[in-house]
Amino acid sequence: MATDTITIPGIEQPVTRIALGTWAIGGWMWGGPDDENAVRTIHRALDEGVNLIDTAPVYGFGHSEEVVGRALEGGRREKVVIATKLGLNWTQDHKVFRDSRPERVRDEVEQSLRRLKTDYLDLEQVHWPDGLTPVEDTAAELEKLHQEGKIRAVGVSNFSVADMEKFRAKVPLSTIQPPYNLFERGPTERDVLPYAHKHHAVVLAYGPLCRGLLAGKMTADSTFPKDDLRSMDPKFQPPRFRNYLAAVEDLKAFAEKRGKTVLSLAIRWVLDQGPTVALWGARKPAQIEGIRDALGWTLSKDELAEIDAILKRHVPDEIEPDFMAPPQRSA
């Protein structure tokens, strides 16, 4: 298939600019796991040409990585670039907190290698900064693991520019992973994208569909159970929810004029913003449909301006996704 690709520094194999995100596959905060569907979903993404899979230990407390490892058995591993993360720990009752101590870094890498059934990680990312551990200490341990051949490239997620500078002084920084979509733009456009351009890093944009909002299938009657992340997201609560839905309807009409879906428009918009990869979250094979529609075309300057006007009309004040930040660990 015709596709967009990009090269992540430190990884020889070019990757598709749409990656499969596996948070939902882990089940935690998404209504529980469904492993058979998850494996079929991964295989469907590979069949569609996707060769980058993004996962993390905290996605189902190891479960997402285990499912990815299972899905890549039988000769698929060498064809795929695996991106995972570290830096989050949890209690026995699954209370998550930040933990990037060097000993934890090494332990997490070893556990990820085991769960993913591989002897190297293409990309290891620090999920959130740990305010009680010097950034330099975390980075130095990752550089050791890089030198040992267990990691091919290193990235960070949800980091400030100041922390990225400290991090990059100890280990090459290949990727940056922030939340980024049509409704959540500010910090990424202000800080992350300029930094990525300057230092030749690739931006892995998570949440490009804003937790399903930009898929175009929600209505004012949509509800979310307590264990669903969206039940805590202010965008999905009244009265703001109706404003976002109205914006989606106008974006849908705009996309249809181009013969596109609002979902493919939202992904294409992310890809047109710079050295970006969009993380496409899915837990069912049917949710892979539409990947091809987002590739092989671009938005013009006039079209980008029209999109901005739609957003300004319906949601002039951006709500940043701060609610997702896990707490710092206790000393």
In eight-state DSSP terms, residue 21 is E
Is residue 115 within 8 Å of 62, Cβ to Cβ?
yes
Helix, strand, coil percent values for the chain (each to nearest 5): 45, 15, 40
Relative orientation angle of helices 63-71 and 102-116, to the nearest 10 degrees? 40
Torsion of CA 135, 136, 137, 143, to 10 degrees: 120
Which residue type does 196 have?
A
**How far are the Cα atoms of 29, 129, 245, 252, 272 from residue 49, in angstroms, in the given order?**
28, 33, 31, 26, 20
Coil/strand/helix, residue 209: coil
Q: Is 195 a catalytic residue?
A: no
Angle at 134 between CA 129 and CA 138, to 5 degrees: 70
Helical ranges in 131-239 per DSSP H = 135-147, 161-168, 186-187, 193-199
Catalytic site residue from 59, 180, 195, 206 = 59
Is residue 206 within 8 Å of 21, Cβ to Cβ?
yes
Locus of tokens 């949601």: 315
Coil/strand/helix, residue 54: strand
Residue 226, token pair as written in the block: 């307590």
56 — alpha (psi -120 to 50), left (phi > 0) or beta? beta
Selection from 159, 210, 157 nearest residue 180 by Cα = 210
Which residues are part of the catalytic machinery?
A: 59
